Amino acid sequence: MANRTIILVAIVAAIVVIAGIGAVFMTNDKGSDETPDSRTFVDLAGNEVTVPGEINRIVVTGMHPVVPVYTYYADGPDKLVGVGSPGLQYAKSGILGKIYPGLDSIETVFPTGTDTNAETVLGLNPDVVFYTAETKSDYTMITNVGLPAVGFQTAMGDNSKDGLNVFNHLELWLKQMEEVFGDNGRADSLISYNNDVQDEIAEKIADVNESEKPKVLIIFSYTSTSLLVAGSNHYSEYWIEASGGVNAAADVDGIAQVNMERVLEWNPDVIYFANGGTATPDDLYNNKVGGHDWSSVNAVKNRKVLTFPSATYMSYAPSLEAGLVLQWMAKNNLPDLFSDLDLSEAVSDYFMKFFGYTASSEDIVDFLAGRPITVH
């Protein structure tokens, strides 16, 4: 008897849910004159996706950098109803969190971003789900429950030079936002700013001799047990070449563990921390980690150890602030050549132009100082 009641309740519940979903679709069908009923496009995962014309509830699984990118595109995070925890922590930890306090009230339903659960996603009743294009299982799961899944890629593809350029990823993501939400001009304005920055810097460093360029090392993370550097075939290759440096760790493929002896052999002139780990420039200046002696390294002698500045995401990876990062790096690599580049002004202009935010001098100093970002 009890069993039958349960089954009956379940059937009624299912009917109500299906009717509810149907009703939502019916309402959407009416549509308004400005927004189309739906939009269909091929996403970055290569799948044809149809999304409703009016999107009010968005869930982001896994794809951390999309949280800030969406927030910028929509000029606010209000429609994000569920995101992975790391993405939100990155987004909130910098200036973006100050600009959009609404980031604080978003639910972080996926603690690690790799643990998407179909029922959790359904429970949030999203109109569209953004997922990491490489996570094929997410695609199957989301589409199985009848939700539109839009893939955003993170991988560097075939490691061609295009895939190493952070701006290319950002451009693809912003363009896809246009596909999903319609063109509001915000993608193109940031893309053209980024293109201008890249062109200006490339033009200036074109005449610099290889021998005058500093040897640059990007440290991905550094602790007493592990020293991970970013070498070739990674974003590091693009960053260093585009900003007028020579990659000290060019022999290293991707991100790999190296030993201190190797670093002493390379003897880099400038060291950047890719804000992944917890180490800071101070740790190198004062030999605080693992008893390693950095005092003979040129970068330490010249006090040229820096951390990637981050405002919306870890900026070693593709991020909204990549244009500022490139200018900052170029100026640090070749201070004489870029002596007329005023970074504070660039930062202040950027936040005014793209976020309508007046950056305080404290914001600017904080941003340029860079800091490690750790999420749990």
Q: Is 296 in the site for another protein (CB under 8 A)?
A: yes
Beta-ladder partners of 270: 216
Q: Is 334 in the site for another protein (CB under 8 A)?
A: no
Q: What is the DSSP string of 19-80?
A: HHHHHHHHHHHH--SSS-SEEEEE-TTS-EEEEESS---EEE-S-TTHHHHHHHHTTS-TTE
The residue from 28, 198, 298, 374 that contacts another protein (CB under 8 A) is 374
Q: Is 282 in the site for another protein (CB under 8 A)?
A: no
Q: Name the one range near another protein by CB under 8 A: 42-50, 65-73, 130-138, 223-231.
A: 223-231
Q: Return d(Cα 318, Cα 173) in angstroms, integer.
A: 10
Q: How many residues lie near another protein (CB under 8 A)?
A: 41
**Contacting another protein within 71-100 (CB under 8 A):** 86
The residue from 184, 224, 286, 344 that contacts another protein (CB under 8 A) is 224
Q: What is the DSSP string of 142-170?
A: HHHTT--EEEE--S-TT--HHHH-HHHHH
Q: Is 223 in the site for another protein (CB under 8 A)?
A: yes
Cβ atoms of 103 and 77 closer than 8 Å? yes
Which of 9/264 has CB closer to another protein? 264
User: Which helix (H) or strand (E) element contains residue 110?
Assistant: strand 108-110
Cβ count near 239 (within 10 Å): 27
Cα 184–185–187 angle (5° rounding)? 105
Which of 225/339 has CB closer to another protein? 225
Burial of 259 (0-12, 13-18, 19+ CB in 10 A): exposed
CB of 143 to another protein, least distance (A): 25
Site track for another protein across 183-222, x = CB under 8 A: -------------------------------------xx-
Cβ atoms of 288 and 221 closer than 8 Å? no
Which of 67/177 has CB closer to another protein? 67
Q: Is 262 in the site for another protein (CB under 8 A)?
A: yes
* Residue ranges binding another protein (CB under 8 A): 86, 111-112, 114, 220-221, 223-228, 231, 249, 251-253, 255-262, 264-265, 276-278, 290-293, 295-296, 314, 372, 374-376
